[in-house]
Amino acid sequence: MGIGKAGLKKSGEPDILVILLPQSCNASFLFTSNHFKSASVLYSEKVLAETDRIRAMVINSGNANCGVGQEGIMHAEMMAREVAKHLDIDHKEVLVFSTGVIGKPLPIEDVLKGITSACKILEPLDLKRASQVISTTDRFPKYDFVKKGKLEVFGFAKGAGMIHPNMATMLSFVFTNADIDSLTLTELHKEITEKTFNSITVDACTSTNDSFGLISLGVLKEDMQNIRQAIGEVSLNLAKKIVEDGEGATKIIKVIVKNASLSIKAKAIAEKVATSNLVKTAIFGKDPNWGRIVAAAGSTPFPIDQFKMKVYIGNHLVYDGKAHPKATEGAKKYLEENKEIEIIIDLREGKENWIYYSSDLTYDYVRINSEYTT
């Protein structure tokens, strides 16, 4: 990796990261479902429409290269070409990512200079440092590493707000030394994303720039089940770190919907509870307010049976077809004493489960998002 400065961060810290892979690698990328996409996302999508093998990536933080008209796409291409020129590789195998403020044109001369210096000194990948360079409002770097026998999976990410399914101002890159063919990689990537980055929320707002890449370095033949597990583990850990760093968050909320008739129903209900402002403020207030939980659970298109379902806060059964007032005190104590809060909704109608991660809604969330000025 190479690190450079384009002066995009007010702190003056490095804001350009170049990652050179050892050779062209099979890679699968998923981007934001937002229709208002960053020009860098539009450019990288175009690159990936032509190839599923990539050689390098360039990431700038401090500027989203978004909402700046067609010029932004030109800037992204200039960034890819600059990397290719210095590293003597094909620019059609270089992806571009950006994160930061929306609506300000990139100071492209400075960015190209930053890329030039980043390409001059290439060091081995340092996950922590890589996360720091691409971070914006993050309070801590996000990276994870799993080694099982010879199998290695490692990744780094950034993100602290605008985090919602279908991803949000979240960048995440996961690598494995396992050799995975392109089609399998794509399927595996989608499957893992659903259970990890598409099952977290901070403020239910999707961003213009989210990207999650999975890259196979292609050197190790390994059992698929092991690969799936290791990549799933690293991806979930990165996703949870983003929730933990949610803007203003004091608690992580783990919403578990159990025994639903359909997997999509379990997910829809878990998502609704995890994104409910009323649930999120109640958890912040350490209030075992199951009324808000059941009201959120009931507000998806899927019917629920209110006389059959159960709700637990931690292991306190607070609702069982009707209120359990005696459990309230224990649940309140649980909320006061724990940082990771489990809410379990047992629909008692089938066998499908889903887990969704969220953070609480606090004064600091309002402060961070109302005092920020464009």
- Contact between 366 and a copy of itself by CB under 8 A: the answer reads yes
Q: Toward a copy of itself, which CB reaches closer, 145 or 363?
A: 363
Of 144, 152, 203, 271, the one binding a copy of itself (CB under 8 A) is 203
- Contact between 98 and a copy of itself by CB under 8 A: the answer reads no
Q: Is 351 helix (H, G, I), strand (E, B) or coil?
A: coil
Residue 193, token pair as written in the block: 């994303």
Q: With contacts defined by CB under 8 A, how many residues of the chain interact with a copy of itself?
A: 71
Q: Toward a copy of itself, which CB reaches closer, 7 or 103?
A: 103
- Contact between 315 and a copy of itself by CB under 8 A: the answer reads no
- What residues contact 260, with CB distance under 8 A and at least 6 apart? 266, 269, 347, 349, 350, 352, 353, 354
Q: Is 245 helix (H, G, I), strand (E, B) or coil?
A: coil
Task: Name which of residues 101 to 130 contact a copy of itself (CB under 8 A).
Answer: 101-104
Per-residue mark of binding to a copy of itself, 232-261 (x: CB under 8 A): ------------------------------
- Contact between 303 and a copy of itself by CB under 8 A: the answer reads yes
Residue 322, token pair as written in the block: 């009707």
DSSP run (H or E) holding 219:
strand 211-220
- Contact between 74 and a copy of itself by CB under 8 A: the answer reads no
Q: What counts of helices (H) and strands (E) characterise the chain?
A: 11, 13
Of 128, 190, 348, 372, the one binding a copy of itself (CB under 8 A) is 372
Residue 235, token pair as written in the block: 């991806």
Q: Toward a copy of itself, which CB reaches closer, 14 or 288?
A: 288
Q: Is 40 helix (H, G, I), strand (E, B) or coil?
A: helix
Beta pairing class for 211-220 and 171-178:
parallel
- Contact between 30 and a copy of itself by CB under 8 A: the answer reads no
- Contact between 205 and a copy of itself by CB under 8 A: the answer reads yes
Least distance (Å) from a copy of itself to the CB of residue 301?
A: 9
- Contact between 31 and a copy of itself by CB under 8 A: the answer reads no
CA 338: distance to chain centroid? 24
Active site residue 208: no
Task: Name which of residues 273 to 292 contact a copy of itself (CB under 8 A).
Answer: 276-278, 281-282, 284-285, 287-292
Listed residue (182, 174, 183) closest to 241, CA to CA? 174
Of 120, 145, 323, 348, the one binding a copy of itself (CB under 8 A) is 323
Q: What is the phi/psi pair of residue 343, to 5°?
A: -115, 120
**Terminal-to-terminal C-alpha distance of the chain:** 32
Least distance (Å) from a copy of itself to the CB of residue 373?
A: 5
Query: How far is the C-alpha of 289 from the C-alpha of 295, rounded, in Å?
Result: 10
Q: Toward a copy of itself, which CB reaches closer, 147 or 367?
A: 367
User: Which of these is catalytic: 99, 169, 196, 275?
Assistant: 169
User: Which residue has 């400065």 as its token pair?
Assistant: 5
For the annotated catalytic residues, the residue numbers are 169
